[in-house]
Amino acid sequence: MEQAELRRWENRCIQEESPRCAAACPLHVDARECCSLLAARRVDKAWAVLAKTMPLPGVLARICDAPCKAACLRGEKGGPIEMGALERFLAGAAQAAKPPRPLPRNGKSVAVIGGGMTGLCAAWEIARKGFAVTVYCTAPDVGVELPEGVLDGELAAMDRMGVTIERGATLTPELVEAQLEERDAVFVDSDAVPETLRYFGEPDEVTLGTNRLGLFAVRAGETSPVFQAAAGRRAANSIMRFSQGVSMVKSRELEGPYDTRLYTNLAKVEPVGPVAVGEGYDEVRAVEEAARCLKCECMECVKACVYLKHYKQYPKVYVRQVYNNEAIVRGTRQANKLINSCMLCGLCDTVCPEDFAMGDVCLEARRNMIAKGTMPPSAHEFALRDMAFADGDKCALARHAPGTTESEYVFFPGCQLTATDPGGAERAYADLRERLGKVGLILRCCGAPAAWSGRDALFQESLAELQSAWQGLGSPRIIAACPSCIKILRQALPEAEIVSHWSILSALGLPETALKAGGTLAVNDPCAAREDGALRADVRGLLDTLGVSIVEPEYSGELTQCCGYGGLLNEVDPELGRIAAQARADAVDEDYVTYCAMCREMIARTGKTAMHLYDLLYPGEGGAGARPTPGHSERRENRVHLREKLLRELWSEADGVAAEDFENVDVAFTEAGAAAMEERRILVSDVQKVLLQEERSGRHLVHDETGRFLASFRPAVVTYWVEFEKTDDGYLVHNAWCHRMKIKGGQP
Nearer to ligand SF4, 355 or 679 (CB): 355
Query: Among the candidate windows 231-239, 308-316, 419-427, 493-501, which touches ligand SF4 by CB under 6 A?
Result: 308-316
Query: Among the candidate windows 7-15, 402-410, 532-540, 646-654, which touches ligand SF4 by CB under 6 A?
Result: 7-15
Which one of residues 120, 169, 305, 563 is an interface residue with ligand SF4 (CB under 6 A)? 305
On whether the CB atoms of residues 350 and 360 are closer than 8 A, the answer is: no
CA–CA dist 199, 177 (Å, integer): 10
Which one of residues 25, 27, 29, 32 is an interface residue with ligand SF4 (CB under 6 A)? 32
Query: Among the candidate windows 300-308, 419-427, 625-633, 685-693, which touches ligand SF4 by CB under 6 A?
Result: 300-308
Least distance from ligand SF4 to the Cβ atom of residue 612, Å: 22
Nearer to ligand SF4, 290 or 496 (CB): 290
Nearer to ligand SF4, 356 or 618 (CB): 356
401-to-391, 431, 504 alpha-carbon distances in Å: 20, 12, 18
Least distance from ligand SF4 to the Cβ atom of residue 310, Å: 10
Nearer to ligand SF4, 308 or 676 (CB): 308
Instruction: Establish if 299 lies at the interface with ligand SF4 (CB under 6 A).
Output: yes
Least distance from ligand SF4 to the Cβ atom of residue 10, Å: 10
Instruction: Establish if 558 lies at the interface with ligand SF4 (CB under 6 A).
Output: no
On whether the CB atoms of residues 569 and 453 are closer than 8 A, the answer is: no
Least distance from ligand SF4 to the Cβ atom of residue 311, Å: 10
Looking from the CA of 111 toward its CB, the CA atoms found within 13 Å total 20
Which one of residues 9, 14, 85, 546 is an interface residue with ligand SF4 (CB under 6 A)? 14
Helical spans, DSSP H, in 352-447? 358-372, 381-390, 415-420, 422-436
Nearer to ligand SF4, 17 or 615 (CB): 17
Output b/e per residue, 167-196; b: 16+ Cβ within 10 A: eebebebebbeebbeebbbbbbbbbbbeeb
Instruction: Establish if 300 lies at the interface with ligand SF4 (CB under 6 A).
Output: yes
Which one of residues 157, 294, 522, 722 is an interface residue with ligand SF4 (CB under 6 A)? 294
CA–CA dist 583, 305 (Å, integer): 10
**DSSP per position, 558-606:** GGPPP-S-GGGHHHH-HHHHHHHHHHHHHT-SSPEEES-HHHHHHHHHT
Nearer to ligand SF4, 19 or 447 (CB): 19
CA–CA dist 96, 477 (Å, integer): 77
Q: Work out the angle at residue 479's Cα, subtended by the Cα atoms of residues 584 and 542, and round it to the nearest 5 degrees.
A: 55
What x/- string results for residues 627 through 666 when contact with ligand SF4 is judged by CB under 6 A? ----------------------------------------
Instruction: Establish if 562 lies at the interface with ligand SF4 (CB under 6 A).
Output: yes
Instruction: Establish if 296 lies at the interface with ligand SF4 (CB under 6 A).
Output: yes
Count the site residues for ligand SF4 by CB under 6 A.
41
Query: Among the candidate windows 98-106, 296-304, 617-625, 670-678, which touches ligand SF4 by CB under 6 A?
Result: 296-304
Per CB under 6 A, which of residues 309..368 are in contact with ligand SF4?
Answer: 314-316, 342-348, 351-352, 354, 356, 358-359
Least distance from ligand SF4 to the Cβ atom of residue 550, Å: 24
User: Three-state DSSP class for 318?
Assistant: helix
Taking the CB of residue 328, how many other CB atoms lie within 10 A of it? 11
Q: What is the largest CA-CA distance in the chain?
A: 113
On whether the CB atoms of residues 216 and 187 are closer than 8 A, the answer is: yes
Least distance from ligand SF4 to the Cβ atom of residue 448, Å: 15
On whether the CB atoms of residues 730 and 666 are closer than 8 A, the answer is: yes
User: Three-state DSSP class for 204?
Assistant: coil
Least distance from ligand SF4 to the Cβ atom of residue 531, Å: 13
What x/- string results for residues 68 through 107 when contact with ligand SF4 is judged by CB under 6 A? ----xxx------x--------------------------
Report the length, in residues, of the chain.
748
Nearer to ligand SF4, 240 or 576 (CB): 576
Nearer to ligand SF4, 11 or 223 (CB): 11
* Residue 724 backbone phi and psi in degrees, to 5: -150, 170
The 3 state secondary structure assigned to 320-356 is HHHHHHHCCCCCCHHHHHHHHHCCCCCHHHHHCCCCC
CA–CA dist 35, 46 (Å, integer): 7
CA–CA dist 299, 553 (Å, integer): 20
CA 474 to chain centre: 44
Residues of the shown chain interacting with ligand SF4 in the complex, contacts defined by CB under 6 A: 13-15, 19-21, 31-32, 35, 72-74, 81, 293-296, 298-301, 305, 307-308, 314-316, 342-348, 351-352, 354, 356, 358-359, 562
